[in-house]
Amino acid sequence: MGNAIGVIGGVGPYAGIDLVKKVFDNTIASSDQEHIDLYLTSTPALIGDRTAYLLEGGENPAAGLFSCLDKLALIGSDVIVIPCNTAHAPPIYDEVARRAAKKWPNVLLLNMIAETMKVIKERFPKGAKIGLLATLGTHGVGVYRTHFEGASAFTLIEPDQSGREAVHQAIYDRQYGIKAVAPPSTLARAVVKAQAKQLIERGADAIILGCTELPLALHDGEVAVPLLDPTAIVARAAIKVVSPSQLRNATVL
């Protein structure tokens, strides 16, 4: 289709860097010049908190997200990704997609949730129970739940309310949260790992790290089931669009 990837970063900032790294890590290249062109914006002041909007209302973060998409398209991005699961809630993502289709019809805006569901169905062709760790916003509006409703062989397992709140706090807390402390604090990592183990005890065959901060805090091998990383998944999907011959063989997503 084209040859440049655009990343709407800043949601959060380290999640944008993580996606860029995963693009590079999944690209076959033996020199600087062989890497795929990539543009990153990181202007978080333009983009309101996605969970706050979904749960409390106010200005739609779609406006700020589209402002970034507009810049990326203008400088030559052919495929654009948003490394934020909560931003894929329909009230936000659908508005960004609508504006993008109107102004930039030849630019592809990838959907991280849809791409993650594709990988789940490929990895578990007979179906599976899939756990989800995410923000309160992602859980609250069913960002993943709506996709699972159309996949009868799959069951989504979500934490109870206290578990959801614990994970959300591990992401957002201003003292120890993943958004506030880099690298992630011991406490945040412990909370996320504990909630992952609870999902496994309830029968999860794999766990979606459904907030782009979570892959920074929990890694494969730390729990007994595979971790599904939407950041890595959408990075690979973007490479497949712009230069499929440069896509490395998948390891663990």
Nearest 5°: the CA angle 9, 177, 110 is: 25
Identify the active-site residue in 15, 47, 62, 84. Answer: 84
Q: Taking each helix axis as running N to C, give the angle between helix 230-242 and helix 112-123, from 0 to 180 degrees, rounded to the nearest 10.
A: 100
Place of tokens 């599904």: 228
Helix (H, G, I), strand (E, B) or coil at 245: helix
Q: Catalytic residue, from 211, 216, 232, 253: name it.
A: 211
CB-CB contact of 7 with 20 (8 Å): yes
Query: Given the structure tokens 């600087």, which residue do they identify?
Result: 32
- Residue tagged 């810049």 (tokens): 71
Answer yes or no: 68 catalytic. no
Q: Which residues pair with 243 in a beta bridge?
A: none
Sole residue written with tokens 């290249």: 29
Q: Can you list the alpha helix ranges (DSSP code H) found in 77-177?
A: 90-103, 112-123, 136-140, 145-149, 161-172
Q: Is the CA virtual torsion 119, 124, 127, 131 positive or negative?
A: negative
Question: CB within 8 A of 153, min separation 6: which ones?
Answer: 126, 127, 128
- State the SS3 of 171-231: HHCCCCCCCCCCCCCHHHHHHHHHHHHHHHHCCCCEEEECCCCHHHCCCCCCCCCCEECHH
Does the active-site annotation cover 84?
yes
Report the catalytic residues.
84, 211
